[in-house]
Amino acid sequence: MIATQHFSPSFLRRVAQLLSVEGKQHLRRMFVLSLICGVIRGLALVAFLPGAASLVSGDPVWGLRFSQWLLVLALVACISAVLEYFLAIANYSVAIDVVASIHLKIGQRVSRLPLGYFKPQSAGEFSRLVSRQMLILGESFAHMYSPMIMHACTMLVLLIGTWVWAPTMGLILSATVPVVVLAAYLANRCERRSSALTDPPNREVASRLVEFAQNQAILRACGKAQAFQPLEAAINTSERRSSKALWWGLLGQLINGTAAQNVAVLAMVLAVGVGTGLQDPVATIVFIGIMLRFTTILNEIGQLGMGVQASQPLLEQVFELLDEPIIEDPERTRRITEPGAIAMRNVSFSYTKDCPVLRDVSFAFPPHSFNAIVGPSGSGKTTIARLIARFYPVDHGEVLVGGVRVEEQALAQLMSQLAWVFQDVYLYDDTLRANILVGNPHASEEQLRHAARLAGVEEIIQRLPQGWDTPVGEGGRALSGGERQRVSIARAILKDAPIVLFDEATSALDPANEQRVVQALEYLRQRSTLVVIAHKLSTIESADNIVVLNDQGRISQQGTHEELLHQDGTYQQFWQRRHAAQGWSLT
């Protein structure tokens, strides 16, 4: 019953999906070797019965004398040792492959999930999923699945052998199976209950820990670094749930352990009382030993089942992630007809139902044009850039990049046309050189230095102790915000994509860094279509087309800076406010 629960065909098919081609071969090898080793172990235990009978009687049993049975047992032991050596290799090969494959599949899946899937707690959940829990999963493949199969085969062979040798003995052994399996089932339910109690609060603790670590600057500024209430609450909840779960786990262990021992004692009493086909005390002791071994096997199956159960929530979490709908590539992709062109036609979009962000937005940006999107906060400026990159599917209308609808392009094809400079730049915990090469890993040294010079990164390199090979730290913490922005611009220059999206890239920069960005814009507009989302209107005065959004997510105006400046409307009000603010000073 336990084996059926954990090794059903559907379960094995799902597990096989997690493996590489080579891993599937290792899994098949593990399964076959587990069956063979289990059968051999069972035959070795059965061989003790005629061997003991031959020892007692001095006569051959089943055509073999006692000394010959010893040779049979020695041969079986040697064969079993060799096969179990290769089985151990197969087990570890499967464990290593499944961990590596799951990491790869999760990475591939995450890269194609819509951005709406990700929530504030996602970082903690993913961190826990691919670290500690992944080790638990690897351990279950290395040490639990194969022994369960092997013990089940050993038990079956031993049952058949005892029925053939002495039906009374076979009946006694068979009668113990339902009781021990029932106990294992109840213990398994206890373990499930224990996991259900601990898993949600543990995920919450992991998420809060990541949140606590990432927001140290804000917490310290507010004097909350020593006592982060959400983290403390999550830990307290986890401790309370863990205490309850401990009792459930203890109950499961108690049921599983005591049931096997009590059944073994009862079976041995019955064996001695009713006879087992062995008319000698020595032979009866052999049966008692087999009985103990049989119940031990049943108990181990239950224990392994509980261990495997501990990995089930992780597998379910992995399967749930891998079953999430992703951004699919079309069966047939269309070739780009207008490299660098961008258009939206009657696009409406909302992050949540009945709360639209964009309403009936339409515009067309020709290749090699400089375009800007302005509007109040929350008007949908960044959302337009996200829809151009197909981070989300639109609710209505269509988005075209390169003259082709984004849904008719492979994701890799679409991404190859775009370079993005974010407001909040994230740098990998690697060298400065490696972070710029993200834009084009195959760039030459000359191209790399050209991009760095245009983006103003050369100034940074000259003052860093290790130059190009200086580690920038996690998130680029070794650099200032403006310096990270320059690295991001260097990436975009190095990629040399037909379209470059600037998402409020100058909103928090000092004048020197802002001037660098403006110079980079002038360079890029000669080679690419620029879409700049800007709060500082001074950076977009030379734009060929400015799209103005109102607070309802609709386009209220379009035109050049001069055209919009002479029209009554949102843009003119923005400009007048910005111009008036330039004269402000603190006294």
Write the pLDDT tens digit of every residue in 314-336.
777 788 888 888 888 888 888 89
Instruction: Say which range, 62-66, 370-374, 444-448, has the weakest mean pLDDT.
Output: 62-66
Is the pLDDT reported for residue 7 higher than 50? no
Is the pLDDT reported for residue 151 higher than 80? yes
Q: Is 461 within 8 Å of 467 (Cβ atoms)?
A: yes
Q: What is the per-residue pLDDT across 65-118, written as a single tens digit (0 to 9) for each? A: 888 888 988 999 999 999 999 999 999 998 888 888 888 888 888 888 877 777
Cα 491 to chain centroid distance, Å, stands at: 27
Instruction: Give residue 38's pLDDT.
Output: 92
Q: Beta strand pairing status for 499-503 and 418-421? A: parallel
Indicate if 124 and 184 belong to the same structural domain.
no
Indicate if 79 and 221 belong to the same structural domain.
no
Q: DSSP assignment, residue 64?
A: B
Burial of 193 (0-12, 13-18, 19+ CB in 10 A): middle
Q: Is 540 within 8 Å of 532 (Cβ atoms)?
A: yes
Average of per-residue pLDDT across 1-23:
61
Is the pLDDT reported for residue 376 higher than 80? yes
More confident residue, 23 or 206: 23
Query: 417 falls in which pLDDT band (50, 70, 90)?
Result: very high
Average of per-residue pLDDT across 249-253:
80
Structural domain containing residue 183: 167-275
Indicate if 41 and 119 belong to the same structural domain.
yes
Query: 6 falls in which pLDDT band (50, 70, 90)?
Result: very low
Average of per-residue pLDDT across 225-249:
83
Indicate if 133 and 196 belong to the same structural domain.
no
Question: Is 533 a member of any domain?
Answer: yes
More confident residue, 305 or 28: 28
- Per mean pLDDT, which of 127-136, 200-209, 331-340 is the most reliable? 331-340
Residues 6+ apart with CB under 8 A from 466: 431
Q: What is the per-residue pLDDT across 532-554, written as a single tens digit (0 to 9) for each? A: 987 777 778 888 999 999 989 99
What mean pLDDT is reported for the chain?
Answer: 81
Question: Is 396 a member of any domain?
Answer: yes
Average of per-residue pLDDT across 406-435:
87
Question: Is 144 a member of any domain?
Answer: yes
Beta bridge partners of 95: none
Instruction: Say which range, 97-101, 133-137, 278-282, 307-311, has the weakest mean pLDDT.
Output: 278-282
Counting residues of the chain whose pLDDT is more than 70, the rounded percentage is 88
Please choose, from the candidates 251, 250, 261, 267, the residue with its C-alpha nearest in 3D space to the C-alpha of residue 299. 261
Q: What is the per-residue pLDDT across 180-200, written as a single tens digit (0 to 9) for each? A: 778 777 877 887 788 778 877
Average of per-residue pLDDT across 32-36:
93
Indicate if 387 and 261 belong to the same structural domain.
no
Question: Is 289 a member of any domain?
Answer: no
Instruction: Give residue 505's pLDDT.
Output: 59
Indicate if 363 and 433 belong to the same structural domain.
yes
Indicate if 349 and 495 belong to the same structural domain.
yes
Question: Is 3 a member of any domain?
Answer: no
Question: Is 539 a member of any domain?
Answer: yes
Is the pLDDT reported for residue 46 higher than 90? no
Assign residue 569 a region: left if phi > 0, alpha if psi is -120 to 50, beta otherwise? left
Is the pLDDT reported for residue 133 higher than 50? yes
For residues 562, 567, 569, 575, the Cα torsion angle rounded to the nearest 10 degrees is 30
Indicate if 352 and 463 belong to the same structural domain.
yes
Q: What is the per-residue pLDDT across 464-485, written as a single tens digit (0 to 9) for each? A: 888 888 888 877 788 887 788 8
Indicate if 367 and 473 belong to the same structural domain.
yes
- 250-271 burial, b for 16+ CB within 10 Å, e for fewer? ebbbebbeebbeebbeebbebb
Average of per-residue pLDDT across 505-516:
64
Indicate if 241 and 376 belong to the same structural domain.
no
Indicate if 462 and 388 belong to the same structural domain.
yes
Question: Is 337 a member of any domain?
Answer: no
pTM comes to: 0.66
* Helices 21-57 and 9-17, packing angle to 10 deg: 130
Give the domain CATH number at 320: 1.20.1560.10
Is the pLDDT reported for residue 586 higher than 60? no
* Helices 66-110 and 281-322, packing angle to 10 deg: 10
- Spell out the alpha helix ranges (H) of 397-510: 411-415, 432-437, 445-455, 457-463, 481-495
The dihedrals phi and psi of 277, each to the nearest 5 degrees, come to 90, -5
Q: What is the per-residue pLDDT across 333-358, written as a single tens digit (0 to 9) for each? A: 888 999 999 999 999 999 888 889 99
As for how many domains the chain has, the answer is 3
Indicate if 162 and 207 belong to the same structural domain.
no
